[in-house]
């Protein structure tokens, strides 16, 4: 197979010198992961708040 996977391309680029393409791809991936983590955190916090509110309503 003449195709290379992304990790292999990145690791070989680090040895040979990082190209602007790898820098841009890394920035995009970091941005996507950051947005995902923030979204998951907000959804989790919202679920906890709803659960606490329901428990407070259920207790007399």
26: which 2 tokens? 């890394």
- 22 Cβ contact partners less than 8 Å away, ≥ 6 residues apart: 9, 10, 13
Please write the tens of the pLDDT for every residue from 1-60. 578 888 888 788 778 777 788 789 889 999 999 999 999 999 999 999 999 999 988 877
Instruction: State whether residue 59 is helix, strand or coil.
Output: coil
- 49 Cβ contact partners less than 8 Å away, ≥ 6 residues apart: none
CA distance 12 to 57: 58
In this prediction the pTM is 0.65
Q: Where are the domains of the chain?
A: 20-58
């Amino acid at each position: 197979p003449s195709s290379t996977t992304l990790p292999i391309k990145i690791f070989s680029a680090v040895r040979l010198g990082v190209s602007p393409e790898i820098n841009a791809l890394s920035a995009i991936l970091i941005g996507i992961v950051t947005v995902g983590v923030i979204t998951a955190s907000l959804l989790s916090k919202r679920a906890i708040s709803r659960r606490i509110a329901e428990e407070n309503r259920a207790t007399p």
